[in-house]
Structure formats: C-alpha cells, structure tokens
C-alpha cells in the first residue's frame, strides 16, 4: 500500500461524519480517489423501497471529490466545496455497497474541478454522477 493512501486513509478516519457513514478510502492516486460506503439501515431514505437517502450519497460524493483534489499533484494543503451538483440516475439496490470514483480533471492555483460517479454492484449502470468546484489552498 502506498504511503499516500495510508496517510489519506488515516485522514478520512479522522473525519467524524465520514466515519459515521462507514466510508472507507480504497484507492488514491494522481488526482483520483475511490471511496466505498457499505449499505446500512440507518441511511435509508425511502421506507417503502429501503433505498438509501440521496443525502448519504451526496456526503459520499463530497468526501470523494475532496479526496481527489487533495490527491492532485499540486498537493493542496486544504480544500473546501464551492459547489456540488448530483444527478441521481437510478435507485441504488438496497443491501449493496456504493463505490464512488472521483477525478480532479483540472486545477488552477485557486480552483479545482471535479467529476465523480457512484455505482453499486452493477458497475455498468451508475447510480449517480456529480460535478463540483472546490477551493484550493497551496502552502506559501
């Protein structure tokens, strides 16, 4: 396991909200991050279908996009979300883990642009996609 991934996993574990939602960072390299979130009944948004709430998917997308910015080669010291748009393509299948992959496809000295996709076990049909802009803080 790379040192960067190990450090980043420690960092994600320190974020109380990410930990509370059961997120786990499984890959981090070259402005790309992959985070999984196992199914949990406390995350249910629709009691009829037992599908998890869009808000939990938003939290996962936001965390993953932020991690992708931090993994950009310019090595920002911190980042914050400016805006994040999520498109919900289909309901995630109840009981299945959600995997999100985010890519920071462009970054300037002040702004990073990120795209992300979330899938369940059927990886060919995305559950949701996200587009966001993030602040970039580079150490002086």
Closer Cβ to another protein, 1 or 14, answer by number:
14
Q: Is 124 in the site for another protein (CB under 8 A)?
A: no
Q: Which of 6, 7, 17, 110 binds another protein (CB under 8 A)?
A: 17
Q: Which of 74, 77, 80, 138 binds another protein (CB under 8 A)?
A: 80
Q: Is 14 in the site for another protein (CB under 8 A)?
A: yes
Q: Is 77 in the site for another protein (CB under 8 A)?
A: no
Nearest to 114 by CA among 67, 73, 55: 67
DSSP state for residue 23 in the 8-state scheme: -
Nearest to 79 by CA among 51, 112, 53: 112
How many residues sit close enough to another protein to count as binding (CB under 8 A)? 38
Structure tokens at 63: 């965390």
- What is the rounded CA–CA span in Å between residue 118 and residue 128? 5
CA diameter of the chain = 52
**Interface residues with another protein (CB under 8 A)?**
14-21, 41-48, 52-56, 58-63, 66, 80-88, 91
């Amino acid at each position: 396991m790379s040192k960067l991934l190990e450090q980043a996993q420690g960092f994600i574990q320190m974020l109380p909200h990410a930990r509370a939602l059961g997120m786990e960072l499984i890959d981090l390299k070259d402005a790309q991050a992959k985070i999984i979130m196992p199914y949990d009944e406390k995350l249910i948004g629709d009691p009829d279908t037992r599908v998890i709430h869009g808000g939990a998917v938003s939290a996962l997308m936001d965390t993953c996009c932020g991690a992708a910015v931090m993994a950009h080669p310019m090595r920002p010291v911190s980042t914050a979300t400016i805006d994040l748009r999520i498109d919900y393509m289909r309901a995630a299948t109840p009981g299945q883990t959600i995997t999100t992959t985010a890519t920071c496809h462009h970054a300037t000295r002040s702004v990073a642009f990120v795209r992300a996709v979330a899938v369940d076990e059927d990886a060919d049909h995305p559950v949701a996609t996200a587009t966001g802009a993030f602040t970039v803080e580079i150490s002086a």
